[in-house]
Structure 1
Amino acid sequence: MARTIRFHEIGGPEVMRLEDVDPGRPGPGEVLIRVEAIGVNRAEALFRSGSYIEPVRKLPARLGTEAAGVVEALGPGVNRFEEGQAVSVVPSFSANDYGVYAERAVVPAAALVHRPDGVDAVTGAAVWMPYVTAYGALVEVGGMRAGDTVVLNAASSGVGLAAVHTANRVGATPIAVTRTRAKARRLLDEGAAEVIVAAETDVPRRVLALTGGRGAEFVFDAVAGPGVAELARAVAPGGTHFLYGGLSGLPFAYPGFDLGMPAWNLRTYTMLETTRDPERLRRAAAFVTSGLRGGAFRPVIDRLFPLEEIVQAHRHMDSGDQFGKIVVTVRPGAS
C-alpha cells in the first residue's frame, strides 16, 4: 500500500484525502516509481474543482502529473529505463488515467525523462512543466529567436519565470507584466528586461515604446479574458499571441475586426502538444537539460509542503501570492 491523495467529490482543496491505496503493478509500457517530490500545477486545482478542460470521469479520482522519483519496477516492453534510476515525470497523460500525488505511482514510460546527474528531486519535480511549456510554445511552435520580444503576463508563475529564462537563453527580450509593483524587483532579478505594472501603465503603449513602435513578436498569455483585446495591440505585425491559460475565468470576443484586422495570430497552446509527441519531447528534454547543465535554467521554488499538507499547498496556490513553483515533498511512511 502507498499513501495516495484522492478526492471523492468535486470541490475546493478540502476535498483531497490522504489514503492508503495499492499502486498496482506496471502493465505494458508502464513504470512503477517511488515518488520523492511532486510539482503542483494549476491544472490540478482546476481538475479537482471540475473546471479543467477535461472533466473528471470517475470518483474517487487521483491528482498529479509532474514528479521526480526513482524507478522501482518496469512493465513489459519498457527498455529505456532501469530499476533504481532517477527520473522525472512530465505531464503528458490524462489525470483520469494516472496520478502522482502519492508515495508510489504507476505512470506511462512515455511520460518519463532521465533526471540529469546532479539534479535533485525538488528540481526534478519543478523544472519540466514550466520549461517545456515555455520552450514548446515560444521556440518549438513559435520559432522565437535572437532579437525577438516576448510579453509575459502572470510572469511570477513558474511558467512565466521559465519563459523569462528561455527568452534570455535564445537572445530574445522578455517583458514581464505584473498586476502590482510588489513583485517587480524580483522579476528584474530573474532576468526580465522590463517590468510593466498593469495597474499603473497602459501596457500596449509601453510595449510599443520599448520596441520602437514595432510591437512584440510574441505575447505569452496565461490570463486571457477581456485583456486579450488590450494585449493584441502590443503584437507586432505577423506576431503570435499564445493563450496557454485562462486565469481570468472570463470570456472574450475575438478582437481582430475591432482592431482593424491586423496581421495578428491568435493561438492556444498546452504543453501536451510537446509531451505527447516523442520527437518534440526529445528536443524539449535536450533543450531543458542543456540549460540546467549550463546554469541558464533553474526552477524558482516558492514553497515546499510535505504530502500531508497537500490541502494547504493547494490553498496557497489558489491565493495567487506565490512567486515561482510550489513543490510537495514525499517522506515514505510519514504519519
Structure 2
Amino acid sequence: MKALSISSPPNLDSLELIEQDQPAPLPGQVGVRIRSIGLNRGDLLFCQNRYFIKPNPGSRLGFEAAGIVDALPADGKSNFKLGDKVALCPMSFDVHSQGTLAEYGAYNEASLIPSPDSVPDEHCGAIWMAYFTAWGGLIEAGGLKPGENVVITAASSSVGIAATQIANMIGANPIATTTSQEKAEILSQLGAPHVIVQDRDDEANLKYAEEVMSITQGKGSDLVFDAVAGPGTHGLVKASTRGGRIVIQGMLDRRPMDIHAGVLMKRLLTLKGYTVDQTLEQEQQKQRAITAIRRGFSEGHLQAVIAQSFSLSDYQSAFSTLSLNKHIGKIIITP
C-alpha cells in the first residue's frame, strides 16, 4: 500500500510517497480501506516541525480520515462488520505509525466513529476535526446559548464554516468575518446571516468592532470564536459585550496579542485558549459532540463544504493549496 512519509529534516520538500506492507488488524482492531482524508492546518505545521506533536524521521502523517471496514481481526470478534462506513476520531491513534495519509490502516475500534449515512463516502473524511473543534469551542469552552451573538473569525476555513453551521443549528446569531468580498459572498450563500470583510490595513480591528456593534444594535458579541489572535484581538475585546467570552482556538497571526488587562477587568470579559484535545480527552464531552454532530448531519443542519479534492499521488498540490490559505472549506485527499 502507499502512504505519505516525512524524511529528515522535516519540511514540505521532505514528504514522499512510500510503499508499505498492508497491516493486518490485531485483536480489538479492524482494517479500514481509506476513502477520503481531511487535510488540516495541523498537517502542514506537523511536517514543518511547528506543531505540538513533533515528527520523527520516517513518520507518517494525517490526523483524520474515513473509509470502509474491509478486514476483521483473526479472532473474528468485532463491534463492526465488513462494509461499515467509519471515520477516525482525531488524536485517537499514533500519527507517527498510523497517520491517515495512506491507502489503508489497521485501527483500534475505540478510534472509530460510524460515519453519517447521509454523507457521501468521499466527504466523510472532512467532518470530524472541523466539527469537533467548532462544537467544543463554541458549546463546551464558550458556553454558547440560543439567541446569543457569536463572532467567528476566519469563517471561510473548515472550522469557521462548521462553527457558523453549529451556531445556526442551536439558534444563536453568528457573525462571520473574512478577508475578501468574494469569500464573504460565498459565506452568505452558505448560511452566514452576517458577514464582515475585515480591512487588512486595520490591524487592531477597530472598524470591525464598529460593525459588530452595529449588527448587534450596540450590545456587542456574547462570544468570540477566534482563529487569528495577533494585534486584532484589540478589536475583539472592543466588540464584546459586558461579561462576554473570547475563545482563542488558532494563531493565524503569530504576532503578540494586543489586550489591555484593565479592559478585561472593567468589562468582566473571559479570555481562554482552546484546542480540540480539550473535547476529545473528556469522554462525556466527546460523546455529546458526536451525538450532536451526527444528528446535525442527519437532519440537514450541517454539511461538509469541500474546497478541492486531490489524489494521494498529487499530495504536493494539496499541501501547496492549503499553504496559500485562499480556499473555502476543506481540502480532501482521496487515495
TM (norm. structure 2) is: 0.91
CA drift at 1:213:
2.0
The 1:31–1:148 alpha-carbon spacing in structure 2 relative to 1, beyond 3 Å, is same
Report the counterpart of residue 295 of structure 1 in structure 2.
Answer: 300
For residues 37-94 of structure 1, the C-alpha deviation after alignment (integer angstroms, 9 at most, x for no partner) is 10110001000001112222x2111111111111233458974323331101121235
Report the counterpart of residue 9 of structure 1 in structure 2.
Answer: 8
User: Does residue 323 in structure 1 map to residue 328 in structure 2?
Assistant: yes
Q: Which amino acid aligns with 1:15?
A: S
Q: Which amino acid aligns with 2:163?
A: A
Q: Give the alignment of 1:161-200 within 5 angstroms.
A: 161-199=161-199
Report the counterpart of residue 274 of structure 1 in structure 2.
Answer: 279
d(CA) in 1 for partners of 2:310, 2:256? 34
Contact kept? 1:123, 1:298, Cα under 8 Å? no
TM (norm. structure 1) is: 0.91
| SS of aligned partner of 2:241 | strand
Task: Decide which of 229, 236, 240 is 1:224's aligned counterpart.
Answer: 229
CA drift at 1:252:
2.4
Q: Which amino acid aligns with 1:18?
A: L
Report the counterpart of residue 203 of structure 1 in structure 2.
Answer: 208
The 1:37–1:217 alpha-carbon spacing in structure 2 relative to 1, beyond 3 Å, is same
Report the counterpart of residue 69 of structure 1 in structure 2.
Answer: 67
Task: Decide which of 242, 245, 251 is 1:246's aligned counterpart.
Answer: 251
User: Does residue 24 in structure 1 map to residue 29 in structure 2?
Assistant: no
Q: Please, which moves more after superposition, 316-325 or 258-267? A: 258-267
User: Does residue 116 in structure 1 map to residue 116 in structure 2?
Assistant: yes
| SS of aligned partner of 2:18 | strand
For residues 110-155 of structure 1, the C-alpha deviation after alignment (integer angstroms, 9 at most, x for no partner) is 2211112242222211122211211111123323121111111111
User: Does residue 214 in structure 1 map to residue 213 in structure 2?
Assistant: no
Task: Decide which of 291, 312, 315 is 1:286's aligned counterpart.
Answer: 291
Q: Please, which moves more after superposition, 200-209 or 279-288? A: 200-209
Report the counterpart of residue 147 of structure 2 in structure 1.
Answer: 147
| SS of aligned partner of 2:125 | helix
Contact kept? 1:66, 1:88, Cα under 8 Å? yes
Q: Give the alignment of 1:50-89 within 5 angstroms.
A: 50-56=49-55, 58-74=56-72, 79-89=78-88
CA drift at 1:262:
2.5
The 1:104–1:150 alpha-carbon spacing in structure 2 relative to 1, beyond 3 Å, is same
Contact kept? 1:4, 1:103, Cα under 8 Å? yes
The 1:167–1:316 alpha-carbon spacing in structure 2 relative to 1, beyond 3 Å, is same
d(CA) in 1 for partners of 2:242, 2:276? 25
Q: Please, which moves more after superposition, 24-33 or 306-315? A: 24-33
Contact kept? 1:188, 1:194, Cα under 8 Å? yes
| SS of aligned partner of 2:267 | coil
Structure 1 unmatched ranges of 5 or more: 331-335
The 1:300–1:86 alpha-carbon spacing in structure 2 relative to 1, beyond 3 Å, is same
d(CA) in 1 for partners of 2:182, 2:235? 22
For residues 181-209 of structure 1, the C-alpha deviation after alignment (integer angstroms, 9 at most, x for no partner) is 22111111111121111117711121122
Contact kept? 1:92, 1:276, Cα under 8 Å? no
> Identical aligned pairs, as a percentage?
34
d(CA) in 2 for partners of 1:138, 1:38? 25
Contact kept? 2:67, 2:86, Cα under 8 Å? yes
Task: Decide which of 253, 261, 264 is 1:256's aligned counterpart.
Answer: 261
Contact kept? 1:30, 1:78, Cα under 8 Å? no
Contact kept? 2:280, 2:286, Cα under 8 Å? yes
Report the counterpart of residue 333 of structure 1 in structure 2.
Answer: none
d(CA) in 2 for partners of 1:97, 1:269? 27
Contact kept? 2:243, 2:269, Cα under 8 Å? yes
| SS of aligned partner of 1:161 | helix
| SS of aligned partner of 1:305 | strand
| SS of aligned partner of 1:18 | strand
d(CA) in 1 for partners of 2:274, 2:9? 26
CA drift at 1:276:
2.9
